[in-house]
Amino acid sequence: MSFFSSKRNIVITAIAALFVVYSAATVTVVKEGEEAKLTGEVAFDPTTVATNFWQNNADEYFAKNAVDFNTLVAEAGGDFTTLASKYGHYSMGDSGELSFIIKGTGTVETVKNKLRAGYLSLKLDGYEGNAQIRLQIGPVFKGSAVRDTISLISYKDYKNQIEWAQVSVAFHDLISKNVLAPIDMAAAEGKKVEFIGCFTVGRPSQILITPVALKIE
């Protein structure tokens, strides 16, 4: 081996050794759950998102934006999409599922509180249509009408569909606790009801409403 080859090998070995030392010196051990302290990224919490809105904006927002259900039906003339820009909210900004915030009064005809996706069947005052009117009471809620009718919250603010779905679940949890839990559903049949709620346009034969405010006499 020549002198120059030996010298080159010594230099390469020294550089490699320095790289190993540098790498070892810059490794940081972070405890599980404390990654944000290192990266500066705040962990996503759907409960905080929903709770902040519920505590600071919900009452005023839903009351202000709710349209009387009979008024909505009359103006729609059988096609809710014609009122999308006036009263509606699309789940993806200007596309996706169409939902509305509505209000109304009526009478509880049937209580289905033993089902996983429980509901109250309603006879709405002044409604002469053929659709079944159901008010969701959980504990499982279908759809995401509540989340989708809130213009202060956008799907663009979340990383993926999983986070976006978790926000909807968080709202349903708040509704279960704050709106539905105080009511004795088993005794609701035959009683007058007043509500504000959200529904997504789907089957013409059924209007499935998720309540955000509910009073049963």
Residue with tokens 């759950």: 33
Q: CB within 8 A of 87, min separation 6: which ones?
A: 65, 67, 72, 100, 101
Residues spanned by the domain of 37? 1-43
Say if residue 26 is in the same domain as residue 89.
no
Residues 88 and 103 in one domain: yes
- In the predicted model, is pLDDT for residue 209 greater than 50? yes
The helix or strand, by DSSP H or E, that contains position 84, with its residue range, turns out to be none
Residues 158 and 126 in one domain: yes
Q: How many domains does the chain have?
A: 2
- How many H-runs (helices) and E-runs (strands) does the chain carry? 7, 7
Same domain? For 79 and 164 the reply is yes
Top-confidence range, 9-13, 24-28, 44-48: 44-48
pLDDT for the residue numbered 89? 96
Are both 76 and 162 inside the same structural domain? yes
Percentage of the chain exceeding pLDDT 90:
71
Q: What is the pLDDT, as a whole number, of residue 93?
A: 83
Tell me the pLDDT tens digit for each residue of 147-201.
Answer: 999 999 988 888 889 999 999 999 999 999 999 999 999 999 999 999 999 999 9
Q: How confident is the model at residue 29 (pLDDT cuts 50, 70, 90)?
A: low
Domain co-membership, 122 together with 146: yes
* pLDDT bucket at 42, cuts 50 / 70 / 90: low
In a shared domain, residues 163 and 176: yes
Question: Are 29 and 77 contained in the same domain?
Answer: no
pLDDT above 70: residue 212: yes
Instruction: Indicate if 24 and 128 belong to the same structural domain.
Output: no
Q: Are residues 5 and 71 both part of a single domain?
A: no
* Domain closes at, from 10, 25, 43: 43
Question: Same domain for 29 and 85?
Answer: no
For the domain that residue 156 is a member of, what is the CATH number? Answer: 2.40.50.420
Q: How far is the C-alpha of 187 from the C-alpha of 184, rounded, in Å?
A: 6
What pLDDT score does 43 carry? 79
Give whole-number Cα distances, 150 to 154, 167, 201, in Å. 8, 11, 16
Same domain, 25 and 88: no
